[in-house]
Amino acid sequence: MSEKTINALRTLPAVDQLLNSPTGHDLIARYGRSQTLDALRAELDSCRAGLRAGKSIASDLDSIFERTTRALENTFRPSLRAVINATGVIIHTNLGRAPLSLAAQHAIREVAAQYNTLEFDLDEGKRGSRLVHAGSLIAEITGAEAALVVNNNAAGLVLLLSALAKEREVIISRGQLVEIGGGFRVPEVMEQSGAKLVEVGATNRTRASDYERAITPNSALLMRAHASNFKMVGFTESASLDEMAEIAHRHHLYLVDDLGSGALLDTAQFGLEHEPTVQESLQAGVDLVAFSGDKLLGGPQAGILAGKKVLIDLLKRHPLARAIRADKLCLAGLVATLDHYRKGEALEQIPVWRMIARPLEDIRSTAQNWAQQVGGTVIEGESTVGGGSLPGATLPTALLALEVAHADEYMDGLRHANPPVIARVAAGKVLFDPRTVLPGQENFLMDSINSQRT
């Protein structure tokens, strides 16, 4: 060992000295005594090991604290955390689907921090029901007689089928038995309810008469599942909801519709295809519609069932309803989100709709502004709605394109920036879509890009 190494080893501070210093106290206040002690010990051990191995390691107090602080930050960084979505996929299922409006965030914070009326009726001064909070609002907005909110749409489907079709037949088109992502298939989810699926038609064509012919005394429901994440083109045919409703009702059966995305506004006004809306399904005579709270509705994760009051009442009383009920944070966020629709301000206030409605010129000027700050060029591109809605539909956008030497490495660096940035690569260029970057994130994005080596 060199003189220098021996000296460095001898002058390494004792762990107590570090703990009792002002920075040590600061770390204890932030991370607790035992985590700080462990981290300091680990740091000193690694200094010693490195020095003995002949490495040159900065072992002054500042360097030791700097490395310890970084280690503690890593230990306490939650795996679920905010990222910047620069992919241009608006409802990105892997990135948490819909970011919430300001009003929804405030409502959640208020209910989270305080006691609240989750199951308390202020007028009567006694126990109330959590089901009142969003139910009547959804009914008002969609034109349904009644509605029920559960944990998510998949859970809502299982509840609906358990309550209405256990050990009975549910008639559904073969072309609609789809996989909804994460390896989950509609038929497998549905079968959890004990309902028996009866597939009719061919993959590409199902006629109204196919449903009618499949009806038996053991039939409970006709069902439609919206093909939300794929598109069939060419020689295709499907029965309309009006036709299906007519057949179902003539045979004293119910018609249920798994809409998936659950748009309440018309997407066609933005040059997109028309995503079927909840209101249209109900108007066509569907008895129960099922949709998500965090897709095109733009609210928190939830499953919403809306339709006939007799059916909703039946679902509410089913034991499964208790197992998959929505929590107070979800309900608070959902009510605040629904209020944007009531007030006619959804396009301005709900982030997913604001992104869909954002004018191309506005996006281009943001991209140009970014290019001025971090270099690169502005090119034409496409954003997608994503999240099981409008498969294949795109919105014209403007992208910041950066030429980098190694795109994979660069993307890895971006993902490990703080906050992490998720971008796209095409033709060796890294692409950033302003459409999905939230207003408050722009400066962080510029910092993250500037901190990368191109």
Ligand X SMILES: *Cc1c(COP(=O)(O)O)cnc(C)c1O
Residue nearest to ligand X (CB): 260
CA dihedral 305, 247, 223, 205 (to 10 degrees): -140
In the complex with ligand X, the residue whose CB is nearer, 108 or 157, is: 157
Q: Name the minimum Å distance from CB 341 to ligand X.
A: 18
* Under 8 Å between Cβ of 210 and 182: no
CB 201 within 8 A of CB 243: no
Query: Minimum distance from CB of 22 to ligand X (Å)?
Result: 49
Helix (H) or strand (E) holding 378: strand 377-386
Q: Nearest distance from residue 275's CB to ligand X, in Å? A: 11
d(CA 69, CA 40) in angstroms, rounded, equals 9
Minimum distance between the CB of residue 261 and ligand X, rounded to whole angstroms? 6
Residue with Cβ nearer ligand X (228 or 281): 228
Nearer CB in complex with ligand X: 43/258: 258
Question: For ligand X, which is the closer residue by CB, 43 or 280?
Answer: 280
Cβ at position 177, least distance to ligand X in Å: 11
Here the tokens at position 37 are 């002690």
Q: Give 24 or 299: the residue with its C-beta nearer to ligand X.
A: 299
Min dist CB 17 to ligand X, Å, is 54
How far apart are alpha carbons 418 and 43 in whole angstroms? Answer: 23
* C-alpha to C-alpha distance for 257 and 290, rounded to whole angstroms: 6
Residues that bind ligand X in the complex, under the rule CB under 6 A: 152-154, 180, 225-226, 228, 258, 260-261, 292, 303, 388
Buried b (16+ CB within 10 A) or exposed e, 161-181: bbbbbeebbbbbbebbbbebe
Q: Among residues 99 and 413, whose Cβ is nearest to ligand X?
A: 99
Choose between 226 and 316: whose C-beta lies nearer to ligand X. Answer: 226
Backbone angles phi, psi at 253, to 5 degrees: -115, 170
For 377, residues 6+ apart whose C-beta sits below 8 A from its C-beta are: 371, 400, 401
Reading the block at residue 23, the tokens are 């920075």
Output the smallest distance, CB 258 to ligand X, in A. Answer: 5
DSSP 202-215: -SSB--HHHHHHH-
Of 193 and 452, nearer to ligand X (C-beta) is 193
Smallest distance from ligand X to CB 107, Å: 20
Q: Give the residue among 159, 151, 203 at the shortest CA–CA distance from 177.
A: 203
Q: CA-to-CA distance for 244 and 60, rounded, in angstroms? A: 77
